[in-house]
Amino acid sequence: MRFTSLSDIGLIRKKNQDSYVCVYNDNDDVLFLICDGIGGAKAGEVASFEIVKYFSEIFSENEGFKDEQEAITYLKYHTKIASNKVYELSLTNKSYEGMGTTIAGLLISSVGNFVINAGDSRVYGMKDGKLIQLSQDHTLVNELIQRKVITEDEAKVHPKRHYLTRFLGVFEDASADVYAIGDMSDYYLLSSDGLHGYVPIEQMQNIISDKSFSLSQRAQFLLKSALAKGGYDNITLILVDMEEDAHE
């Protein structure tokens, strides 16, 4: 396995509210996380940083998992704990009031691979050259799509397309989706919406598929594509190549 990661403030925002981490445990399992401070809210960068910091510390001390259910339980439990820590921190400082963050994560472990998600940051998998979204957006427009109230094309221009229905840190009780995905992909891509919100999935797919460039070059091309679309938001991504032996 090889992976590369990057984060960029973009061309418009004054702060980078995204945070990310790639961390190993004692069993050589690896956890990838991207958190995006939500909606330009107060201290969104603090919320995203605190979630990433918590998982970086706790997962690095983990000794591995005995089975799939233990891994899922671990991820769900610690997501709740991390979210609650952000909520409690928000009560200590007026400037932190209402802060929150999305989370998108991928655990690659000896007992299987798992996705974590709350909000609209995403995890994709690529198999045989086709990029597929593995996570489910927690947004108002996605709920409307699922209920067949609007179409996917209508969702792209809906005035409330950025409204989140789930996130971490804002309320005392929060949760994320956690589920097993199997070993189904040649590549994984984690991204904040500064990338996938502006760059079409076909374009991302073509960039990732081009093996004439290194993994880090392909990550840079993804970033440049988002900037070329206007760079309206912070852009963070982690690109994982499951066929390679070292990280980049």
Instruction: Convert the pLDDT of each residue in 192-217 to its tens digit.
Output: 999 999 999 999 999 999 999 999 99
Low-confidence ranges of the chain (pLDDT < 50): 246
Domain 2-135+166-241 has what CATH class? alpha beta
- What's the pTM? 0.94
Which is nearest to 52 in space by CA: 36, 73, 71, 28?
36
Query: What's the pLDDT at 246?
Result: 47
- Residue 206's contacts (CB-CB under 8 Å, 6 or more residues apart) are none
Exposure on the CB side of residue 227, measured as CA atoms within 13 A: 12
